[in-house]
Amino acid sequence: MSQLVKSTLVKSALAAAIGVGVIVSVSACGSGQVSQTATQAPAVNGATVHDGALALSDVLIVYPTTSNPATVFAAGGPFQLAFVVTNDDPVNATKLVSITTPTGTVALDGDATVAPGLMLRAGRPAGMTPAQGQKVLEATLTNTGKTVSPGLTVPLTFNFDTKGKMTSIVVDTPVDAGALMERKDKDPADSAEGAHH
């Protein structure tokens, strides 16, 4: 075998060994690591709480859709509640009997029974439309005084009856920021005009 062929084979083997070394070292860097997003809950507007077979998700107080939301906040309501109740019990239905809060009253309008293995949605937050045929419960919070305000949470207690057994789940409920709020940017002309003075 000629010196040129031997030299070429040695260089090829050396390049292959370096390539394998790089691949192994790069893959070893991530071994045993858990990505940050693997343990994070999805970014949703509302709160989520689990209790046995029951789960409450996307629980929030919907930002008022009136032309003057400040009036609604000052009057202590009425506020629409939005949430999803999931019943993972494969056999027993459950019923949302009431929602209580330290200040105010919640009125429920509609069928609040959640069949086994199904879910019940309440309210219509901005941008949400229920699926065709999906039943939507209406829950209205009133007489809250000054306890409801954007940036604050309100403790709501959801009371369920499953075959005569009562379950209460407390949810620290945020006020939705309002997906349909108007954006107000500065006029670039104002900035340019101010720069000349």
Q: How buried is residue 150: exposed, middle or buried, by Cβ count under 10 Å (0-12/13-18/19+)?
A: middle
For the segment 91-110, what is each residue's pLDDT rounded down to a tens digit? 999 999 999 999 999 999 99
For the segment 106-163, what is each residue's pLDDT rounded down to a tens digit? 999 999 999 999 999 998 765 556 555 566 899 999 999 999 998 889 999 999 999 9
> Is the Cβ–Cβ distance between 139 and 81 less than 8 Å?
yes
- By C-alpha distance, which of 93, 82, 104, 61 is closest to 160? 93
When comparing pLDDT for 2 and 179, which is higher?
2
- pLDDT > 80? residue 172: yes
- By C-alpha distance, which of 50, 52, 61 is closest to 152? 61
What share of the chain has pLDDT > 70, as a percent?
61
For the segment 5-34, what is each residue's pLDDT rounded down to a tens digit? 555 555 665 555 565 555 555 455 544 444
Domains in the chain: boundaries: 47-174
Distance CA 172, CA 51 (A): 15
Distance CA 106, CA 59 (A): 14
Select 47-174's CATH number: 3.40.1080.10, 3.40.50.300, 2.60.40.1890, 3.30.365.10: 2.60.40.1890
